[in-house]
Chain A
Amino acid sequence: SQTIHQWPATLVQPVGSPLSLECTVEGTSNPNLYWYRQAAGRGLQLLFYSVGIGQISSEVPQNLSASRPQDRQFILSSKKLLLSDSGFYLCAWSAPSLGGNYGYTFGSGTRLTVV
């Protein structure tokens, strides 16, 4: 069966420090991968998605970047964190071969607090 792992679960980082959040998927190949952010009191915002290794699409301009160095690995990074980067970050995957009928499967999330 397919599983998605996301870590760390919580993170407290000072302003100006770098960030690296990692997400891996098991049990499937060539998944579509996604990073979402959920800011306090707000909905889910799609940040990045990837349909293959090295292929990254950005939905909103921001202080963050994403990379996909391996088929089932998706990394969210920042060189210098801002206070506004605080939020709950969710990784997700979907199977492109199934079209959109099965939605996405989400990881358990990372709670990032920038202080």
Chain B
Amino acid sequence: GNSVTQMEGPVTLSEEAFLTINCTYTATGYPSLFWYVQYPGEGLQLLLKATKADDKGSNKGFEATYRKETTSFHLEKGSVQVSDSAVYFCAQIKNYGGSQGNLIFGKGTKLSVKP
């Protein structure tokens, strides 16, 4: 079945360090891919998305590229800030013709950025 696998955390970085959080997916066909962020005590917010192969989603300095050949959607940021400390979830949703499947999440990766 469809699934999402992301690197286990926690990830601890110093401010201004480079961030990569790996995410791979298994799916039949070509799902849409997402990164959600959850700040402490809050719900989930959509960070970025990509709906087809080679699309690059970007927002707030974060980027992820939909790689069909490696079934990956790794999240990157060149210089993290303390305010980026949160849990990051990779997710996919499969489109079935005119209807949609359900959003499937990875287990989340907790990022802590130290000043």
* Chain A interface (Cβ < 8 Å from any Cβ of B): 6, 32, 34, 42-44, 46, 49, 59, 90, 92, 94, 96, 99-109, 111
- Expressed in whole angstroms, the Cα–Cα distance for A34 and B103 within the complex equals 10
Question: Given that A100-B32, A100-B101 are known contacts, is A43 also in contact with B106, CB under 8 Å in the complex?
Answer: yes
* B43 touches which of A32, A34, A90, A103 (Cβ 8 Å): A90
Q: Interface residue count for B (Cβ, 8 Å)?
A: 27
Question: Given that A34-B102, A42-B107 are known contacts, is A100 also in contact with B95, CB under 8 Å in the complex?
Answer: yes
Q: Is the CB of B89 within 8 A of A100?
A: no
Q: Which residue of A lies closest to B97 (CB)?
A: A99
Given contacts A6-B43, A100-B93, A108-B43, 4 further A-B contacts (CB under 8 A): A43-B105, A100-B100, A103-B49, A104-B103
B105: chain A residues within 8 A (beta carbon): 43-44
A59: chain B residues within 8 A (beta carbon): 102
Q: Is the CB of B44 within 8 A of A106?
A: yes
Question: Given that A43-B105, A43-B106, A44-B105 are known contacts, is A102 also in contact with B98, CB under 8 Å in the complex?
Answer: no
A107: chain B residues within 8 A (beta carbon): 43
Q: Write out, one digit per residue, whether chain B residues 79-115 have a CB within 8 A of any chain A CB (1) or not (0).
A: 0000000000101011100111111011110000000
A108: chain B residues within 8 A (beta carbon): 42-43
Task: Please name 23 pairs of A and B residues whose Cβ atoms are closer than 8 Å in the assembled complex, sorted by A.
Answer: A6-B43, A32-B100, A34-B102, A34-B103, A43-B108, A44-B44, A44-B105, A46-B102, A90-B44, A94-B100, A94-B103, A99-B98, A100-B31, A100-B95, A100-B101, A101-B49, A103-B32, A103-B34, A103-B91, A104-B46, A106-B36, A106-B44, A106-B45
